[in-house]
Structure 1
Amino acid sequence: MAAPVLPASRRDDYLALYDSFQWHIPEHFNLAQACCGRWARDPASADRVAVHTEHEDGRRASYSYAHIQAEADRLSRALRALGVARGDRVGIVMPQRIETVIAHMAVYQLGAIAMPLSMLFGPEALAYRFQHSEACVAIADESAIDNVLAARGECPALATVIGVGAAVGRAEHDWDAMLAAELPAFTAVRTKADEAAVLIYTSGTTGPPKGALLPHRALIGNLPGFVCSQNWFPQADDVFWSPADWAWTGGLWDALMPALYFGKPIVGYQGRFSAQVAFALLERYRVTNTFLFPTALKQMMKACPAPRERYQLHLRALMSAGEAVGETVFDWCREALGVVVNEMFGQTEINYIVGNCAAQNDDGRLGWPARPGSMGRPYPGHRLAVIDEEGNPCAPGEDGEIAVCGTDRHGHPDPVFFLGYWRNEQATAGKYVERDGLRWCRTGDLARVDHDGYLWYQGRADDVFKSSGYRIGPSEIESCLLRHPAVSNCAVVPSPDPERGAVIKAFIVLVPSVARSAQADAALVAELQQHVRGQLAPYEYPKAIEFIEQLPMTTTGKIQRRVLREMEATRGAAARR
C-alpha cells in the first residue's frame, strides 16, 4: 500500500516540508516537564503568564509557570502520600480552571496516568469509566462532585475523591488543605517517551466506550500539525483560546498542552459557550490563535455576521475539526473574521494527522493553501492512504477509508500513535491492517484524495448510506442547506423507505427569527428542497425534512447522526406494523 502521490508544486512549500521532515524522539520524555517544568525552572520564563482564567460570573485571574509548577509539586507529594504510584489512573473531572492544569502536571510528573473526564458525564457514564479503568483517585469540582460521589459506590478501586472549589467539604479530601500541608518541591519521575500518560475514553458510538491509552510521546506527534494549522505557531504575542473541553482530545492535545509546550499563554473559560462570549474573549485577551468546532463557528456566523464591525479582533490563525466546515462557514471565516480556516482531521487514537497551513512565516515558507471544503494534506511526519474495503489504495476521486501508516516516509515510527485500547486487545487488533510489510491504522472515516494530495472528507463510514442505488454522504448536503438563511444547523440521515431502501432526510434547526405555522413550514420545506436541487445533483435533495429544536450532539460538539438514524429506523418499524 502506498501513500497518495503528491505532485510537485511551485505554489507552496508542501513537498519540501513533507519530504525533509524527520522525527527525533528522545528515549525519555515527560509531558509535565516539557509543558511546565522547563519554563518554571528558567528565570527568564518562570514568571511568564501560562494560563488566564475567567469564570462566567466575572472572576478573572492569571497564573505563571512558576505558580503552576509549585502547586503541581505539592499535589504530586499529596497524591504519593495517598498511595498513587506509577501507572495508576487518576480521574480529573473539572472544566477549564487552573486546578485542571495543575492536576494534569502533577499526575504526569508522578508517572501516573491522567484520565480526563467531562463534567457533563452523569453517574452511569462516570461509573463505567472509573470501574473499567480501576481509577484509584478522582479529582472533581462543584460541576461534577455530585455525579462522582453517586458513581463511587459501583467502583471499589476508587479509594479517594478530592474536592475542588465549591466542592470542598463534599469529599474526604479538600484540595486546598491537601496542598497547604505539602512543600512545593518534588523530584519528577523520569518517564520514557513510550510510557502511558493519558487515558481518554472514546464516545462509544458503536458499542461501549473504549479507553485509548496515549503515551507521553503522542504530544510530539501532534506538534507538526499544531504548528502548521496555527500558521507557524508560536510567534511573538501569541495567545491561544478554545472552547474545546480540556477533558477531550481536542481541548487537551489540540489546545492546552501544545500552547504550554511552546510557552505561550492560553485562556481557560469556565461557563457556557455562546457566540457573544466567544467574541468577547477573543477581544479581551487579544487572542491570536484558536480552535473552534464547526458547530461553534456556525453559531458565531449566525449571531454576528459582521463581527469586525463590533469587536476588535486580533486573530491570525483558526483551526477547525470534528466535522466538515463546509464552504459557507469557510467563506465567512475568510471574509468576516479575516482568517482562512485551517481544517484539520485526527482521532483520539491518532491525532492531528491531516490539515492545512494557509499562511507564510517570517522565513518565507508558504505552507500550503487551504481549499474550501478540503480537510487538507497529511502533515509532515505522517503517511496516509485512502483505502477500499480490501485495504487497497483508492484512485484519486474515489471514496475510501482513511488509513495511517505506523511509520513515516523514512521508515521511522510515527510518535502520534496510541498504545492501544485499555484492556481490549481485540479492539486494538481490529484497528489495524497489515499490507506490503507495513502496519496501517484504520480510522473509520471516509474521504477521497484529489490529484494534488488534498483529502475531502465524506463522513464516518457509518454515516454514509445508499438511496435509490446512489451513495449518499451527508456533509455536502448539510453544507448546502446551511447556506440558506433560515437554517441554523442541520443533519442528514437515511429514513427507511420500502421502495428505495432509504430516502434522504434532513433534520433542521431554524434560526430564531423564522416565523412558524403549518402553512409556513410547508412552504419552507419546499423552498429548502428546491434550494438543494438547484445546487447539487437531483438525487441529493432531501425527500423529507423535519424541523427540530436542537440536534443531538456529543460533548465534543459533533452531531450524533446515529441517534437520528436510530430514531428514523424505530419510526419506520412502527409504521410497518
Structure 2
Amino acid sequence: MTWLSCCLSQSLWGTYCSYLNACAGFQSLLASDVYSQYQAVRRGEQEIPKYFNFASDVLDKWSEIEKAGKRPSNSAFWWISGKGEEVKWSFEELGFLSRKVANVLTKVCGLQKGDRIIVVLPRIPEWWLVNVACMRAGIVLIPGTSQLSAKDILYRLQASKAMCIITDDTVAPAVDSVASECQFLKTKLIVSKGSREGWLNFSELYKNQSADHSCVKTRIEDSVNIFFTSGTTGSPKMTEHSHGSLGFRPLLSERYERYWLDLTPSDVIWSTADTGWILTSLTSVFDPWVFGSCIFVHQLPQIESATILNTLCRFPIDTLVGVPTLYRMLVQNDLSSYKFMNLKHCMSGGEPLNPEVMEKWKSQTGLDIHEVYGQTETGIICSVFKGMKIKPGSMGKAAPLFDVQVVDKNANILPPGQQGEIAVRSKPIRPLGLFSEYIDNPKKTAESERGDFYVTGDRGTMDEDGYFWFIGRDDDIIISSGYRIGPFEVESALMEHPAVAEAAVVSSPDPLRGEVVKAFVVLSATFSSSDREHLACELQEHVKKTTAPYKYPRKVEFVQQMPKTITGKIKRHELRNKEWGRM
C-alpha cells in the first residue's frame, strides 16, 4: 500500500464517496480526465502527477461545469465594501478577468515564470485577481499585510528579490521611501483611482488588456507562494509553498476538507483573516474553490463586532472562519438580538480559544465553534471536524494525510498525556502540505527537522482519544489575536530609542486578545524621566512607526536590570513565566 492509501480508512472513505455521489457538480468534475487522475492518486493506484496548476486544473474546470449548467447558480466570489459597493464573479468571470491580469504581469511588467511579486493589498477584489493571475503565469506571489512599515517593506523587497510590487495609495508612500535601495525592483503597480508618479495604474491596465492568455505549465513542486514568518532571534523567514502543498493538497484530502470546512458548491464561506496570512490563502482561495463554493469577502477596514454580526444577519453566509479574538469580541454583545441568515458552521484558528467563549457562543447562537490548528509551514494539520465530539480547549485530531505526534527532544514519540513538542512525520516521505523550505536559509530549514519529524515549535499533549491540546510556544513567538509576533523585531525597534539601554519582549495574558506584547525596558544611564507613563506611550508610538503597528507593546514595564545567563543573554523565559504566574 502507498503512503496515501494508508491514510484513508475504509469507513471514512465510504463516507466521502457517499458525499461525492450526492454532489452532482463535483461528481461531474471528477468525471473529467484530470480529476479521474486525482481519484486514482487518492486510491493509491497512481503516483502524484508531475504537473499541476490550480488555475487551469481546478478553477477552469469549475468554469466548464458552470457553463454546462451542472453547478448551482452561486457566485464563485462575492465582495462587499460595507458602503454599498458590491462585486460578484462566476468562475467564468474570474477566469476572464484573471487572464487579463496575467497579461498585465507578463506583457506590461515583463514578469516571467518563477519571478517573485510582493502584493500588499487590503481585502479588495484585486487581491484575488492577482492571486489567480500569478498562478496562471507561474509567478510566485508574496502576500503582505497593509500594516507593514517602510522598514518591513524594505526587508521583504531585498530578501525576496521581488521584481514587482502591487499595493494601494496607503502603502505606496512607504514603498517610494525605500525603492531606491531595492536593486531588483523593476515595476510598481498601484490599485488606485488616480495616478502616482513612478507607478503603473493597475486598474486601468487590466481593464484594457486582452483576456487571451494560456496558462503556463507548472510542476507540482514549483513555488506558488512565499510567506514571511516572524523569527525569535532574527529577521522574518521566507517560507516557500508549492503548487502541490497549497493547490493539490486539498484535492487529495477532500473528505478532510469537507469535514473541517463542510462545504458544497451551494455554500458561502467568509474568512475574516488578513490578506497577509496563509489562513486567507487556505480559507479564501484554495480550499473553498476545490469544492466550487462561494468565497465571501467584506472589506472590513476594521474588525468591529456590530459590522460582523450585521453582515451575518444580512447575507447568506454558511461558514465563518475567524481568530479567537473575533469570537471573544462577538460574545460581549447580546447575541439574542441578532438572527443569522444562514450560518451553520463556525471555525476558529490561529491561537487557542477559551472554553468559556465557546460555551457562551453556543448558548446564545446554538452553534458550536470548531477549532483548527496549523502554521505557515504546515497549513491545517489538526481540526475538530464537523460531527466530531468537541472537547473544549482541544484543537482536535490530526488531519488525514498527516501523521501528527507529540515528541521529546530526541524525536521519540511520547505516550498520551505526556507533554512534548507537536511534530509532523516528514520521513521517509515528506507529506504534501508541508512547506518546501525556508528560502536562502538552509540552517533554519535543517533545524526544523528532528529525526523523522518536522517540529512545529509548539508544545502540547495528546490524549487517549487522539485529541491534541496546545500548551504554548517552545520558543518566544507571541501569538496575539492570531498574529504571530517575533520579539526580535520589537526589541530592535525599542533599542533605536535613545532612552532604552536594554529591552526584552515577551507575551502577557490578555482577556480579549489571548496574549499581548509586553516590553521590559532598562533605561539608559544618561536618560532620566520621572513621567514613566508618558515615556511608555512614547516608546509605543516609536515602535508603531518603526515596524508594523500590530507588533507594538501594549504593556511596558521599566526595570532596573534583566535576568541573564552566565554568558549575558537575557532570560526571556523567566520574564514570560513571571508574567504568566508560573514562577
TM surpasses 0.5: yes
In 2, Cα distance between equivalents of 1:226 and 1:422: 32
Q: Partner residue of 1:344? A: 372
Q: Deviations over 1:106-160 (max 9, x none)?
A: 1111111011111111111011011100000111122322222223222111100
**CA, structure 1 residues 245+405, in 2 after alignment: closer, same or farther (shift >3 Å)?**
same
Q: Deviations over 1:342-394 (max 9, x none)?
A: 111111111111111132xxxxxxxx212111011101111011011222222
SS of 2:331's partner is helix
SS of 1:346's partner is strand
Q: Deviations over 1:463-488 (max 9, x none)?
A: 699xxxxxxxxxxxxxxx98xxxx54
Bigger shift: residues 208-217 or 170-179: 170-179
Question: Map of 1:67-146 to 2, 5 A cutoff?
Answer: 67-81=93-107, 82-146=109-173
Q: Partner residue of 2:435? A: 418
Q: Give % identity.
A: 24
Counterpart check, 1:235 vs 2:272:
no
Q: Which amino acid aligns with 1:31?
A: F
**CA, structure 1 residues 324+164, in 2 after alignment: closer, same or farther (shift >3 Å)?**
same
In 1, Cα distance between equivalents of 2:77 and 2:336: 26
**CA, structure 1 residues 148+239, in 2 after alignment: closer, same or farther (shift >3 Å)?**
same
Q: Aligned-pair distance for 1:200?
A: 0.6
Q: Aligned-pair distance for 1:256?
A: 2.7
Q: Partner residue of 1:32? A: 55
SS of 1:153's partner is helix
2:224 aligned to which of 197, 202, 207: 197
Q: Aligned-pair distance for 1:25?
A: 3.3
SS of 1:573's partner is coil
1:156 aligned to which of 175, 179, 183: 183
Q: Aligned-pair distance for 1:16?
A: 8.8
Bigger shift: residues 180-189 or 117-126: 180-189
Q: Which amino acid aligns with 2:295?
A: I
Q: Which amino acid aligns with 1:27?
A: K
Q: Partner residue of 1:461? A: 474
Counterpart check, 1:400 vs 2:420:
yes
In 1, Cα distance between equivalents of 2:12 and 2:561: 51
In 2, Cα distance between equivalents of 1:300 and 1:558: 23
1:427 aligned to which of 422, 444, 461: 444
2:237 aligned to which of 210, 230, 240: 210
2:462 aligned to which of 449, 459, 474: 449
Question: Map of 1:259-408 to 2, 5 A cutoff?
Answer: 259-270=288-299, 271-302=301-332, 304-305=333-334, 307-359=335-387, 368-406=388-426
Q: Aligned-pair distance for 1:174?
A: 1.1
**CA, structure 1 residues 395+495, in 2 after alignment: closer, same or farther (shift >3 Å)?**
farther
SS of 2:156's partner is helix
Q: Aligned-pair distance for 1:430?
A: 0.8
Q: Aligned-pair distance for 1:459?
A: 1.1
The root-mean-square deviation of aligned C-alpha atoms, in Å, is 3.5
**CA, structure 1 residues 34+371, in 2 after alignment: closer, same or farther (shift >3 Å)?**
farther
Q: Which amino acid aligns with 1:432?
A: E
Q: Aligned-pair distance for 1:571?
A: 2.3
In 2, Cα distance between equivalents of 1:336 and 1:106: 42
Q: Partner residue of 1:177? A: 204
Bigger shift: residues 211-220 or 231-240: 231-240
In 2, Cα distance between equivalents of 1:232 and 1:123: 36
Contact 2:265-2:293 within 8 A present in 1 as well: no
**CA, structure 1 residues 69+494, in 2 after alignment: closer, same or farther (shift >3 Å)?**
closer
In 1, Cα distance between equivalents of 2:201 and 2:326: 35
5+ residue gaps in structure 2?
1-8, 17-40, 479-508, 521-539, 565-583
TM-score between both structures, scaled by the size of structure 1: 0.74
Q: Which amino acid aligns with 2:283?
A: D
In 2, Cα distance between equivalents of 1:268 and 1:346: 22
Q: Which amino acid aligns with 1:317?
A: H
In 2, Cα distance between equivalents of 1:462 and 1:17: 40
In 2, Cα distance between equivalents of 1:95 and 1:196: 23
Contact 1:48-1:65 within 8 A present in 2 as well: no
**CA, structure 1 residues 168+64, in 2 after alignment: closer, same or farther (shift >3 Å)?**
farther
